[in-house]
Amino acid sequence: MKYVALDFETANNEPISACSVGLAKVENGVVLDTYYSLINPPSSYFSPANIGIHGIHPRDVINAPTFDSIWPDILLFIDNNLVIAHNAPFDIGIVKAMLSFYSIPIPPLHYADTVRIARKVFPQLPNHKLTSLSAYFGFVYRAHHALDDAINCAKLFHTSCPLEDEQAVIDFYYALDIRFNKMSGGYAPLVAQKREEESLGLF
């Protein structure tokens, strides 16, 4: 089965503040290709808290492309494959917010959330943060680097269900009451999303 793992880092709590993106295209657990780019967000404000998490400063993105200029490359990279993300509502929310800001149509991409998957498949673990899961499974990891996060998200997805046949994977998750969602219009502010994540123990 082929899929694309996606991760964003943001400059602040606004959903249109993506400052980096990482993608990993994977088939049957093997990374076929990767994509990484810094992003120059619409606002130049970087919160100290976010800088402390990912280490990206305003000076790092001065000459970086804007989201609308790299979106065609991102969409081409995804190539209608399933998109996965760790805490997908956060990353998919960023995609939809950025597309809305630049008046770009939202594509009908399907996506899955590896947080929900991990909770269903590995309920015995004390938490389901990507850092904790990566340590538990022995993944090499630079926390909060968008590309590393995407690659480890892909590894987690494959570890959760190492089946190769696409229908078998869908059936496996269906049995766990996990559905693949479809992107549509609308998004929640990142502040509200982060509060929900904190209540769920994602940070």
Tell me, yes or no, whether 124 lies in a domain: yes
Tokens of 38: 């810094």
Count of structural domains within the chain = 1
Burial (0-12, 13-18, 19+ Cβ within 10 Å), 180? middle
Q: Which domain holds residue 12?
A: 2-193
Cβ of 188: how many Cβ atoms within 10 Å?
A: 14
Which CATH number does the domain housing residue 163 bear? 3.30.420.10
Q: Are strands 30-38 and 18-27 parallel, antiparallel or unpaired?
A: antiparallel
Per-residue pLDDT in tens (0 to 9) along the chain, 203 residues: 999 999 999 999 999 999 999 999 999 999 999 999 999 999 999 999 999 999 999 999 999 999 999 999 999 999 999 999 999 999 999 999 999 999 999 999 999 999 999 999 999 999 999 999 999 999 987 888 999 999 999 999 999 999 888 889 889 988 999 889 998 765 444 443 444 433 334 33
In a domain, 156, yes or no: yes
Q: Considering the domain boundaries, does residue 198 fall inside one?
A: no
The reply to whether 127 falls in a domain is yes
- Tell me if 131 is assigned to some domain: yes
| 73 strand-pairing partners | none
- Domain annotation covers residue 201: no
**Reported pTM:** 0.87
Instruction: With respect to residue 203, please indicate whether it lies within any of the assigned structural domains.
Output: no
